[in-house]
Amino acid sequence: MQFSVHISGVISANPCSCFLNKMHFLPVPCISTAAGVQSLAVLLMELQPGTDGSQILAADALYQLGRVEEAYRLLLSIGPTGPRAPILARLALLQLHRGFLYDTNQLLKKLIQCGETSCLRPLLAVAQQKDRVLLQGHCHSAAQRILEGTREESDLREAVAYLSIAIIASGGEAAESLLERARCYALLGQRKTAIFDFSAILKEDPKHIQALCGRSFTYLLLNQQKECTHDILAALQIDIDIVTKDILSLKDKARTLVCDWLHQFCRTNLSDVVLTKAVPCHEEQLKEAFIIGGALMRTDCRDPRWHLLYVDTLIAKGEMGTLPNLLLNFAMGSLIDALAQARVGVVEAWQQKYRSAARRLSKLTEKDSSSLVFLLTLIPVNQRKRMAQAAAKEASSVSSGGQWEQALTLLNVAVKAVGNHRLQYLRQRAACLAQLGLHERAIVDLDRVIQKHNGPDSSCSDDSQVWAEDLCRRGCSLVLCSRERAALEDFSRALELHRNQAMQCVEAGLGRVRLAECFLRGALQHYGEQQLNRAWKMIECGLIVDNENTELRRLRSKVKREVASPCNVN
């Protein structure tokens, strides 16, 4: 009874699964185990004639015993109603073992058409190592032959099936098959699945160049710039020649986008390096910039952006050499020529030719101010300060001849070279902007100057004369921008700080009569709003500016009459 219950349990279970699970944990080949399973399978076949599971179990045991012919005939004897995929999988493996490649191909095609290749996993877990290797190579070669054709969708899907079998046969370690399958998935539009295969390769071999490039280009299709750039850079650090060829193999649009992303990354990286590290930088800090710059120049040596990037990297390293001559040979025009000239200016600043450097860099200020800021960081701090002084001095020289636009570009260089540290450059530029009628921009510069008067780091906070002059200059520009209320506040404050200096500025700017009229309009507005104290202040300031203004006098008398007590006015 006990034996029959055990047999019943075996019969009710999946016999093939029982065999596979048992054999998975035993050394292969294990002849005694295989012989015992074969005997059990024969018994099951006698107890349940026509049961497919017991016949498959017997065939597996015969295969393990090396009785391949018997196993083959036994599988062929299974009726057409039996499970087709497990039988086809075993027949394909047996025919491959026997060397019948044509039959193997036909059986594998039928298995793929069934769409149940997963049945190979338990079978291959106990298959002989040499047969697994044969199956892996056979399926990989079959996929390659398919991919050499037209690559229609149906062909790609068939290739994926063969490659999947090869991967199963290898135990998941077939890097070449994973690589080919990932490429097929990418062509089929299954990009995330492709990335999964590429990542599986890179998990085992982080320096697999083709997997890095493949995953990078798949990220490109997904428009994932950061991930794409990261993988390409990792591959470039391993072998720049191979990666460059892969980039060149892309279609024009994709190649352009990859190069643009690499250029953006390199520009950002180089900017970060020179901002955080004092130039000249160590070569190790510029390693990525040199690698990317070299790769970009190999992809298209005609693109001037790549050459400029390489030049900037050399400057950051402090290698001047023949850079001026190389840059002067740029047969470009417009912006590119200005960019090249500006870099010559950077080199000249290193060489302490500050006046010439300022002139060259000034050509860039109105065309590409962001590039100017970066290029200035390539100049050591001390040379940068001296060049700013030279630029301001040159601006004074050209402005005396009425060349205000040229003076403005030079002052842009001076201001950007030292930031807000030299207020005189901001004052000088504001005056230049005012001369050109660019009063809104002049106000911005003077705002920065006036803020410093109240700042803790100001060197002129106690100089009321300078402060008053700054306020008057801003007030003048505010009036010319039709912002009279703010302007009158500046002029009122200036008169309080230093009346004589304020009056000199008024006479040199708007003039007494015009400013007095502004104060009159301001006083009338406050009077109309019944803000008598403010109106009185405007009147008093206006009369300081022009004591002969009869309208202001008349308004003052009127305000006096309406105020109950003089102390309320004052």
Tell me if 96 is assigned to some domain.
Answer: yes
Structural domains of the chain, count? 1
Residue 33: give its domain's CATH number.
1.25.40
271 or 151, which is more confident:
271
pLDDT grade, residue 419 (50/70/90)?
Answer: confident
Provide CB contacts within 8 A for 347, sequence distance 6+: 315, 320, 323, 324, 327
Residue type, 370: S
Q: Give the type of residue at 418.
A: V
Query: Residue 167 falls within a domain, yes or no?
Result: no
Angle, CA 111 vertex, CA 105 and CA 114 arms, to 5°: 145
353 falls within a domain:
no
Distance in angstroms (rounded) separating the CA atoms of residues 460 and 451: 11
**Structural domain includes residue 80:** yes
User: Does residue 40 belong to any structural domain of this protein?
Assistant: yes
Instruction: Assess if residue 228 is contained within a domain.
Output: no
For 371-409, what is each residue's pLDDT tens digit?
Answer: 899 999 999 999 999 999 999 999 999 999 999 999 999
Q: For residue 33, what are the domain limits?
A: 1-100
**Predicted confidence (pLDDT) at residue 2 exceeds the cutoff of 60:** no
Give the span between the Cα atoms of 30 and 239, in whole angstroms. 47
Per residue in 507-566, pLDDT (tens digit) is 999 999 999 999 999 999 999 998 999 999 999 999 999 999 999 999 999 998 887 555
* Better-scored residue on pLDDT, 26 or 244: 244
Q: pTM, whole model, 2 decimals? A: 0.77
CA distance 570 to 567: 5
332 within a domain of the structure (yes/no): no
Give the DSSP letter string of 232-274. HHHHHTT-HHHHHHHHHTS-HHHHHHHHHHHHHHHHHHHHHHH
CA distance 388 to 238: 43
Angle at 264 between CA 357 and CA 346, to 5 degrees: 10
H/E element holding 226?
A: helix 225-236
Asked, for residue 415, whether it belongs to a domain, the answer is no
